[in-house]
Amino acid sequence: MSQASQNTCPICSSSQWQTFFEVLSVPVFCNILWPEKLAAQRCNRGDLRLNFCSNCSFIGNIAFDPDHLDYAQTYENALDFSPRFQTYAHSLATQLIEQHDLHHKTILEIGCGKGEFLLLLCELGDNRGIGFDPTYIPLEEHGWANEKIQFIQDYYSEKYIEYQNDFVCCRHTLEHIPQPTQLLNILSNNLKKTIQSQANPGIFFEVPNALDTFSRSAIWDIIYEHCCYFSPVALTYAFSSCGFKVEQVTEEFQGQFLCLEAHLGEPTTTLTKVQQQQVSQLVQDIKQFTIRFNQTLEIWQEKLRQFSQNHQKVVLWGAGSKGVTFLNFLKVESSVQSPIEYVVDINPRKQGMYVAGTGQKIVSPEFLQEYQPDIVIIMNPIYKDEIQKMLTDLGVQDCSLTIGF
C-alpha cells in the first residue's frame, strides 16, 4: 500500500487505522506453483502487517508491495474442477441471468481468470462477453466462444472506456488491489461517460468474506496476495463512496464469500445505525483475533506432533490458498521427517508441481490408492462430502478425515 494508506484507511481516509496482526516472511504467491521442490522452498516472500479501520471496518496489509507480484499466465487459482464449486458457479450464473435479464446482452468481466465464469454467463444466456485479465490463457475447450467473447490480457483501466456493456461482473479480484477505490472510481467514471447511450448497467462483485476470516477464525485465508479484506460494511462503504447505489450484500458459499449488487448512483459515506453496530462487533473480534490465531496454531502443532509420534501418514487435500497458508503458517516443510509429504488436488494443472514455501509435491486423488493415508486434512469443509465420495470410489476407506481449522 502507499505511504499515505499506512497512516489512513485507503477506503474512508480515517486515521482510526491501527496494526493488529503480523506474520513475517510468507510466500507472496499461493497460486503460483513450482516445477521443482527447491525452487518452491526458495520462493519470493513478503510480510503480512494487517491494519484495521474502526470507522468503516476495512482491513488491509500495509506491508504489501505490489512490485513483489506479477500476475502472469502461470497464475492458477481455478476452483472449477470441483463438482461442488461448479454447482455453485452454475447456480450463481443462472441467478444473475434471471435477475438482470441477461439474454443477448454484453457482459464485461474484470479479472476473468481463465474465463470460466464469463463463458458460463455467455453460454447460458446467449450473451456476448469481454474479459480482462493479465493471467488469461486460451484453453482448447473454449474454442467455441471465439466469436462471442473477447479476452484482453490486461488490467481493466480508463483506456477501455469504449467497451460498452449491459452488465459488469468481477469475482475475487478486488481483494488483490491495494487501492480498491481506484478501480471502483475508474469503473464509475467509465460507465458515467457511456451511460447516455445505454441503460444503467448492473454491477456484481464477489470477494472473500472478512467476517469468515476474522470473526469465525478461518485463518488460512490470510495470504499475501490478498492485500484487502472486506466486511459487508467495508464493501458497501467502498462502493457507495465511489458513486454506486448498493442494492444488496449477501453472504454466500456457506458464508465464505460476499456478493454485492449495485448500480450507478450518488456518492455517500454515511453509515446506518445497523452498520455502526456491525463495525463495533468486528472491533471486538479484532481485539481477540491474535489470541485466537495463536491458539489455532498451537492446536495444530500438537496434532501434527501426535500424527508423527503415531507414525501416521498424513496428506493435505487442497493446494489452493488455504492449504498453502496452512503449511506455511505451521512451517511444515516437506522432508522424510515431515508429518505431511503430499498435497492432493483435483486440478490437473497443479498435479506434479510443488507448494510455495514448504515444497510438498502435489498429487492427484488417484495417488492415494497406492499411498493409503491414515489422515486426510480437508482445508475447506464445504468440500467434505465430495472428498469423502472420491476417497470411497478410489478404495481409500481406512483413513480419517479432519477439518483443517
Across the chain, mean pLDDT equals: 92
CA 27 – CA 93 distance, rounded (Å): 33
Confidence band, pLDDT 50/70/90 cuts, at residue 75: low
pLDDT digits (tens, 9 = 90+) for 312-354: 999 999 999 999 999 999 999 876 678 999 999 999 999 999 9
- Lowest average pLDDT, out of 16-30, 165-179, 273-287, 329-343, goes to 329-343
**Among residues 258, 248, 202, 249, which one has the least CA distance to residue 228?**
258
Q: Is residue 168 domain-shared with residue 200, that is, in the same domain?
A: yes
Cβ neighbour number for residue 390 with a 10 Å cutoff: 18
> Cell numbers of 15, please?
486515521
DSSP state of 177: -
Q: How many CA atoms lie within 13 A of 167 on its CB side?
A: 24
**Claim to verify: residue 28 and residue 169 sit in the same structural domain:** no
Do 37 and 106 belong to one domain? no
In a domain, 95, yes or no: yes
| Predicted local distance difference test score (pLDDT) of residue 259 | 98
Q: Are residues 33 and 100 located together in one domain of the fold?
A: no
pLDDT score, position 193: 83
Q: What is the structure's pLDDT at 197?
A: 53
Give me the pLDDT at residue 67, please. 86
Segments of 213-290 assigned E as strands: 228-229, 244-252, 257-264
Q: Are residues 197 and 138 in the same domain?
A: yes
Q: Is residue 386 part of a domain?
A: yes
pLDDT in tens, 84-129: 999 999 999 999 999 999 999 999 999 999 899 999 999 999 999 9
- Same domain (yes/no): 55, 134: no
Residues 6 or more apart whose CB falls under 8 angstroms from that of 229 comprise: 50, 58, 59, 60, 175, 208, 210, 213, 214
**Same domain flag for 185 and 256:** yes
In a domain, 292, yes or no: no
pLDDT higher for 140 or 404? 404
Q: How confident is the model at residue 174 (pLDDT cuts 50, 70, 90)?
A: very high
β-pair partners for 49: 22
Q: Cβ(26)–Cβ(48) under 8 Å?
A: yes
- Structure confidence at residue 4 as a pLDDT band (50, 70, 90): very low
pTM confidence score: 0.94
243, 313, 245, 231: which is closest to 279 by C-alpha?
231
Q: What local confidence, expressed as pLDDT, does residue 53 receive? A: 98
* Residue 326: CATH number of its domain: 3.40.50.720
What's the CA angle centered on 59, arms 181 and 85, to 5 degrees?
85
Q: pLDDT tens digit string along 216-242?
A: 999 999 999 999 999 999 999 999 999
Give domain status of residue 306, yes or no.
no
Range of the domain at 16: 3-65
DSSP structure string for 21-87: EEEEEEES-SS--BSSHHHHHT--EEEEEEEEETTT--EEETT--GGG----TT-----TTSHHHHH
- Report pLDDT for 3: 44
Copy the grid coordinates of residue 271. 453509515
Q: Are residues 355 and 249 in the same domain?
A: no
- pLDDT for 404 beyond 70: yes
The answer to the question of residue 191 being in a domain is yes
What secondary structure does DSSP assign to 305-344, as a single string? HHHHHTT--EEEE--SHHHHHHHHHTT---STT-SEEEEE
More confident position, 335 or 6: 6
What are the two backbone dihedrals, phi and then psi, of residue 315, each rounded to the nearest 5 degrees? -125, 150
Q: Which long-range contacts (CB under 8 A, 24 or more apart) does 290-297 make?
A: 290/20, 290/21, 292/217, 292/219, 293/21, 293/217, 293/219, 296/217, 296/219, 296/405, 297/329, 297/330
- Tell me whether residue 129 is in a domain: yes
Query: In total, how many domains does the chain have?
Result: 3
| Residue 302 forms part of a structural domain | no
Report pLDDT for 293: 97
Q: Do residues 154 and 231 both lie within one domain?
A: yes
Share of the chain above pLDDT 70, in %: 93
Same domain, yes or no, for 239 and 98?
yes
pLDDT computed for residue 194 by the predictor: 76
Residues 158 and 227 occupy one common structural domain: yes
- First-to-last C-alpha distance (Å) of the chain: 29
Q: Say what the pLDDT of residue 41 is.
A: 95
Quick one: 54 and 90 in the same domain?
Answer: no
Residue 143 confidence (pLDDT):
64
Residue where one domain finishes, among candidates 232, 255, 278: 278
Helix (H) or strand (E) holding 110: strand 106-110
C-beta separation of 237 from 271 below 8 A: yes
What confidence category does residue 46 fall into, taking pLDDT thresholds of 50, 70 and 90?
very high
How high is the pLDDT of residue 338?
84
Residue 355 lies in a domain: yes
When pLDDT is cut at 50, 70 and 90, the band that residue 73 belongs to is very low
- Residue 390 phi/psi, 5-degree rounding, is -60, -45
Residues 6+ apart with CB under 8 A from 346: 81, 82, 364, 365, 390
Cα–Cα distance measured from residue 203 to residue 221, given in angstroms and rounded to the nearest whole number: 25
